């Protein structure tokens, strides 16, 4: 375990008590650059200074110091629009990551080192994003105007030694659309993808999760902003954005509906959200000092109607099989389909663990975060007719 200063609590307490870094340094009898180092997370105050700091700010030791587990699973969420990450969301995901540790020895990637494909110094600079995205596109043989298909994205996960976990989490009452879990001790990465989502959104989420895999050195909001920006450039790069911008801008601003329909056509051609196309066109505009395109208040209503034209990925995968919010497909159909489409070793790994450790459906329920009855069905399919223990 490693201790670190709780910078958020200390900064808040300093503000409340009116302490500047220099004033606090004076009260503690230390140099100003020492306090700056603490507030930047570069160092932890000595035990005596910690005690003095505790008395000065009145925080209490538990609020002053954070115990950090360097091997704790690292979490990144692809959240639903408007969803706010709460502590319990993070805690649940970390618990899932701890369970994934049990699966690591059975993974085909367990004996390999982390794939050496991570981006150096990831940032949201336009040129950096475009070049990094172009490098990934070149690796899969895509030209500047080519459409990146689902298979291209999934192949990159395999190249990066990422285990994809396709899940049926429904369309309601979920905080996340996807979860990225990195286990530092094994250097393994596991990406949960919710299949109960519209096809065009799902494509962007896969690209977003791929960005996380390529940028393990950044976390938090910085990582989320980078992942969104990189995904946009990967799926709709500079050359396509340039074409889109000039097509839309060529239409008079008085013809707002025609402009919106132009964006929608471009989005449909690439199985993307119109919002993504417009965002990339405007990123091109900003970089080239051109005026951004404003499609008015009715644009989002058109996007909502556009979304209705796409099926859920789960429905497409399980076409002809019973599946809706209340009538799930059989475990066999689900496992067979996702293994074939996503080429994921997850259920093979899970089967090996369940059989060797004689674990029951309760483990499946927790590691997949699904209802117990669904976990029972998957357990029966993976372990045959052997009686399951909860």
Nearest to 236 by CA among 147, 135, 127: 147
- Which of 60-64, 210-214, 237-241, 332-336 is predicted with the least confidence, judged by mean pLDDT? 60-64
b/e code 129-150 from CB counts within 10 Å (16+ = b):
bbebbbebbeeeebeeeeebee
Nearest residue to 202 via CA among 211, 193, 210: 193
Sign of CA dihedral 208, 210, 211, 212: positive
* CATH code assigned to 2-68: 1.10.260.40
Mean pLDDT to the nearest integer, 339-361? 95
pLDDT band at 2 (very low <50, low <70, confident <90, very high): low
> Helix, strand, coil % (nearest 5) of the chain?
55, 10, 35
pLDDT at site 153: 94
Note the pLDDT of residue 281: 98
pLDDT in tens, 351-378: 999 999 999 999 999 999 999 999 999 9
- CB burial class (10 A; 0-12, 13-18, 19+) of residue 190? buried
Please name the residue ranges forming H helices in 166-273.
199-214, 220-235, 238-249, 256-269
User: How is the chain split into domains, by residue range?
Assistant: 2-68, 74-235, 238-307, 318-383
Tens of pLDDT, residue by residue over 100-154, are: 999 999 998 865 544 456 888 999 999 999 999 999 999 999 999 999 999 999 9
> If residue 129 lies in a helix (H) or strand (E), which one and from where to where?
helix 126-139
How far from 133 is each of 200, 201, 230, 338, CA to CA, in Å? 19, 19, 7, 27
Q: How are beta strands 176-183 and 74-79 bridged, if at all?
A: antiparallel
Q: Is the pLDDT of residue 64 over 90?
A: no
pLDDT tops 80 at residue 305: yes
Mean local confidence (pLDDT), 12-29: 90
- Give me the pLDDT at residue 5, please: 85
Confidence at residue 237, expressed as pLDDT on a 0 to 100 scale: 97
pTM over 0.85: no
């Amino acid at each position: 375990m490693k201790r670190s200063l709780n910078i958020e609590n200390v900064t808040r307490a300093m503000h409340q008590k009116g302490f500047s870094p220099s004033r606090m340094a004076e009260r503690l009898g230390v140099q100003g650059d020492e306090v700056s180092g603490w507030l930047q997370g570069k160092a932890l105050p000595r035990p005596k200074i910690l005690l003095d700091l505790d008395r000065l700010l009145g925080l209490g030791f538990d609020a002053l110091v954070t115990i950090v587990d360097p091997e704790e699973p690292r979490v990144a969420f692809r959240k639903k629009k408007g969803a706010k990450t709460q502590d319990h969301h993070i805690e649940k995901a970390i618990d899932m990551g701890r369970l994934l540790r049990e699966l690591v020895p059975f993974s085909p990637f367990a004996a390999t080192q982390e794939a050496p494909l991570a981006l150096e110094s990831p940032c949201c600079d336009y040129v950096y994003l475009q070049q990094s995205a172009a490098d990934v596109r070149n690796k899969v043989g895509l030209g500047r105007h080519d459409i990146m298909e689902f298979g291209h994205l999934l192949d990159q996960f395999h190249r990066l030694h990422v285990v994809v976990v396709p899940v049926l989490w429904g369309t309601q009452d979920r905080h996340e659309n996807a979860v990225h879990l990195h286990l530092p001790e094994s250097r393994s990465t596991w990406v949960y993808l919710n299949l109960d989502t519209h096809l065009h959104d799902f494509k962007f989420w896969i690209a977003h999760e791929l960005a996380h895999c390529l940028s393990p050195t950044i976390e938090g909001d910085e990582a989320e902003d980078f992942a969104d920006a990189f995904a946009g450039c990967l799926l709709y790069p500079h050359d396509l954005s340039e074409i889109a911008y000039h097509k839309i801008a060529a239409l008079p601003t008085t013809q707002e509906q025609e402009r919106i329909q132009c964006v929608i056509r471009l989005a449909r051609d690439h199985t993307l959200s119109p919002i993504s196309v417009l965002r990339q066109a405007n990123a091109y505009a900003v970089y080239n000092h051109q005026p951004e395109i404003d499609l008015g208040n009715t644009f989002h209503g058109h996007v909502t109607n556009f979304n209705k034209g796409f099926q859920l990925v789960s429905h497409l995968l399980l076409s002809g099989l019973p599946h809706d919010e209340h009538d799930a497909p059989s475990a066999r159909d689900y496992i067979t389909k996702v293994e074939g489409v996503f080429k994921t070793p997850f259920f093979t790994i899970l089967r090996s663990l369940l059989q060797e450790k004689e674990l029951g459906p309760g483990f499946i329920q927790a590691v997949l975060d699904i209802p117990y009855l669904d976990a029972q069905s998957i357990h029966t399919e993976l372990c045959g007719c052997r009686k399951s223990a909860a």
